[in-house]
Structure 1
């Protein structure tokens, strides 16, 4: 598809009306794949961030999904607003919300203006100065503990729970197994090695599922929290971004992701008590997800295609090594 991104004239009136300032610069930030993220420089030397949820900003092509999988379609202004309120209520630092427009008053899309928390990610800080990253990691550990001990008797996206639409017919581990097998099928259609190992991988997934015992208490999880989804303010505060996927679910899902993404820094996050069998099932399911998703988006015009292919290759090796 032909993508037309925002130009300064598209947002001048929005800036004047909402902030009482004049727009000086507009920069589209790289890395996003589901929504547009723009830094708006203002005439007083400050800046704000504009989120835009529009079809032209979303690089992900549709794919078959498990109907009750709470981690699908984790994008949109409604999810953002509900997740923002829930995290703030739990005492977790998120960018301050300045304006939310879901009525098309400013653009032909849902938009939000939020605080600009700077340009330093926790990922970059860990790599550049591990000692300086120690305090933000400690604060983040406390944030995660508050999230993961904010418990609910139902799983699902927060918006679905608010509307009393969250399905509860199945155990969460069965949802993840179906999700993993769907990702396996899709990856096997794109990669010969995954096709050849399909039945062995499926058997491995079912074997991991067989060790998991039932549980019906769910914590508040981000869903895909890596150190690139945490910014660190000049004052050293960690700030969570990309929060639309906030969900009540098994905290092992979060920790499988955290362990993979934070690597050597993960012990600093001081996890709550975890079920090792559930954690291993979810870890392997995420490996399959990180094969299928990158291969799918690499078939589009996503600008970082090679990076996605390398990510898929890394996880193909991990999936096969487990056999």
Structure 2
């Protein structure tokens, strides 16, 4: 038997509300922070998609940090083959990723995270409550991964979502990895006939600059 839970949320996205009603957006942002706090405090001893773990499955890889490193090295290789600036810095970026990974201590529990939560993935009810959408990727993972993504997507508004106690070493590794992903992904799309090329070029350029700025 399959069950669908449907709710008619008519307040639009949080992203749109930032422009149309800043006061309501602040209220929804505070509600989102409370929701994320509850989610991130819900732990599991293993990482992986929530539906996979519920079925007794096991995610690939040996740890969150190793999985992120392996993917980042792949993204680095792809980006280096498409942009000369990344190619010239490949050795330094590789060393930086590996050195950051070496500093991360093992962890035995992981929080429930959305995975790619931006203000466009949050709807707002008429009462000002935040409702998460596109939750098919819900997973147990390091909450630092979520917070790096939140910081990238919410920019100056991230302060309302910040929380104490995050591991700064994981944050450093995950930020560099995410920046490289946001270089490699857009450049990969530009190999084909992606229609909005200017958008992808801008994303790749911005994150390329940010990745290089993270080098010591």
Change (3 A) 1:169 1:196: closer
CA distance in 2, matches of 1:224, 1:271: 18
Q: Are 2:182 and 2:204, in contact at CA under 8 Å, matched by a contact in 1?
A: yes
Cα root mean square deviation, aligned: 2.0
CA distance in 2, matches of 1:187, 1:118: 41
Question: TM-score w.r.t. structure 2 length?
Answer: 0.90
Q: Secondary structure at the match of 2:111?
A: strand
Give 1:275 shift: 0.7
Q: Secondary structure at the match of 2:147?
A: helix
Counterpart of 1:117? 9
Larger Rg: 1
Change (3 A) 1:210 1:192: same
Q: Are 1:148 and 1:272, in contact at CA under 8 Å, matched by a contact in 2?
A: no
* Deviation per residue, 1:104-144 (Å, 9 max, x gap): xxxxxxxxxx5453472212222443322111011101110
**Which of 219, 223, 226 matches 2:111?**
219
**Which of 64, 71, 79 matches 1:179?**
71
Counterpart of 2:127? 235
Q: Secondary structure at the match of 2:103?
A: coil
Give 1:163 shift: 2.3
CA distance in 1, matches of 2:16, 2:103: 38
Report the structure, 1 or 2, having the larger helix content. Answer: 2
**Which shows bigger deviation, 212-221 or 156-165?**
156-165
Give 1:187 shift: 1.2
Q: Secondary structure at the match of 2:184?
A: helix
Change (3 A) 1:247 1:316: same
Give 1:166 shift: 1.2
**Which of 192, 196, 206 matches 2:88?**
196
Equivalent runs, 1:27-106 vs 2, <5 Å: 97=4
**Which of 90, 94, 100 matches 1:208?**
100
**Which of 185, 206, 213 matches 1:314?**
206
Q: Are 1:145 and 1:272, in contact at CA under 8 Å, matched by a contact in 2?
A: no
Structure 1 gaps of 5+ residues are: 1-80, 86-96, 99-113
Counterpart of 1:149? 41
Give 1:207 shift: 1.6
**Which of 153, 157, 160 matches 1:265?**
157
CA distance in 1, matches of 2:149, 2:195: 24
Give 1:300 shift: 3.6
Change (3 A) 1:265 1:151: same
CA distance in 1, matches of 2:197, 2:83: 16
CA distance in 2, matches of 1:116, 1:306: 35
Change (3 A) 1:280 1:192: same
Q: Are 2:61 and 2:67, in contact at CA under 8 Å, matched by a contact in 1?
A: no
Give 1:251 shift: 0.5
Give 1:226 shift: 0.9
Change (3 A) 1:189 1:279: same
Larger RCO, structures 1/2 (Cα 8 Å, 6+ apart): 2
CA distance in 1, matches of 2:47, 2:209: 32
Q: Secondary structure at the match of 2:123?
A: strand
Counterpart of 1:299? 191
Give 1:168 shift: 6.8
Aligned length: 214
